[in-house]
A = this chain, B = another copy of it.
C-alpha cells in the first residue's frame, strides 16, 4: 500500500424523510441565505421543492433560485449561478438533484468565492482557494459527488468536459433519501449503474499497487450494483435495493476504494467525456461504450487483475471472458455498447480522438494515451 490521507468530512443523512431536515442542517451552521439550485421543474410538481422551501422557511433561511440545470451540466449555467450568488450575497449553496446539479453547485460555490474565472480552475491554471459551503439533497445516485470533492462541467463553447477537485468542495451535509430516487427512468438507472461500476474499475484495473482489501471493496460495490440494478429494473419501488444501490454509489467514489492504491488514472472517463461533450449523450451510456473497448485494449498490461475480476464478478476464467461478460451485462440491462448503438458515426472518431487527446495532454497522460492509442480504443468501440 502507498501512503495516503483519508479525510471525508461530509455528513451523510441517509433515509426516508431526511430531506425535511435540510433547513435545520443549514441553520445549524448559522447561514441565513442560500442559492437553491435544481434541474427540471418536476420538483415543483412532485412536492420536493415545497418540502425543501418549507424547511428553509421554518428555519428562517431566505433563498434565491437557479433552476434548469441539465445533464452534462454546462458552464454558462455555472456563470449564471455565480452571478446570482454574488448579486444576492448568499452564504451557502444548496443542490436539489443528481450529480449534474451538485457538480454545478460545487462550481458555483467555488466561482462565487474565488477571484479567477471558474473555468481557469478546470483548465488547471490555478488552485481553488475556497468555496461557499455546499449542501445537497440527492435525487439520483451515480456520480458519488455527494461525498467527494470533485465536479465535472462541460464548456459548451469549446466542447471541453473537464473537472475540478479541492477539499473545500466536500459538501457539509448530503441528504440521501432513496425514495426520492425512485422516479429515475429505467434508462438513467442503467446509466447510473454503469457510472458507478466505472468509478470503481478505473483504479482497480490500472493502479500498479492494488491491495486485495481494496479489490474486495470494489468487488462488493460491483456485485451490489449488478444485483440491485436487476431488482430495480423489475421493481422500481424496491426500497432496500434502491438504498443499497445509492449507498454503494456513494462508496464508489469517496476515496475508500482507492486508499492505498498506487497512482491511478481515469482513462475511461477521459475518453467518455469527449463523447458526452460532443454528442451530449448520457455519461453512463458513453462509459458503457468505452469500457469494454478500453478493457480489450488494456487487459494484457494487468491480466491477473482482469482474471480476478472475471472469476469473482462473473464466475468465468479468462480476462477476455470477463470483459465480454461485463459488456454482455451492459447490453442486457439496456446500455449501448458501441458507437453504433448510440448512433455515433464512426467517421467522427478522429474528432473524438482530438478532443480526448486535449484532456490527455492537460492531465499529463499523453505518454500512454497518445492520439493513436485513443483512436485504437475508439475503433474497438465501433
Question: Which residues from B are CB-within-8-Å of A14?
Answer: 1, 3-6, 259-260
Bits for A202-228, please: 1 = Cβ < 8 Å to B, else 0: 000000000111001101110110010
With beta carbons under 8 angstroms apart, the residue of B3, B6, B15, B227 that contacts A212 is: B227
Task: Name the distance in Å between A133's Cβ and chain B's nearest Cβ.
Answer: 15
Q: Does any Cβ of B come within 8 Å of A54's Cβ?
A: no
Closest 3 CB pairs of A and B: A3-B15, A216-B220, A7-B11
Identical copies of this chain, number: 2
Question: Which residues from B are CB-within-8-Å of A5?
Answer: 11-14
What is the bound-complex CA distance between A17 and B3, given in angstroms? 9
What is the bound-complex CA distance between A14 and B243, given in angstroms? 31
What is the bound-complex CA distance between A293 and B236, given in angstroms? 42
With beta carbons under 8 angstroms apart, the residue of B10, B15, B16, B244 that contacts A211 is: B244
Instruction: List 13 additional contacts besides A5-B11, A217-B220; criterion CB under 8 Å.
Output: A1-B14, A1-B244, A3-B17, A3-B18, A6-B14, A7-B10, A14-B259, A213-B220, A213-B244, A213-B248, A217-B217, A247-B259, A256-B256
Q: B-contacting residues of A (Cβ < 8 Å)?
A: 1-18, 178, 211-213, 216-217, 219-221, 223-224, 227, 239-240, 243-244, 247-248, 251, 256, 259-260
Question: Which residues from B are CB-within-8-Å of A13?
Answer: 5
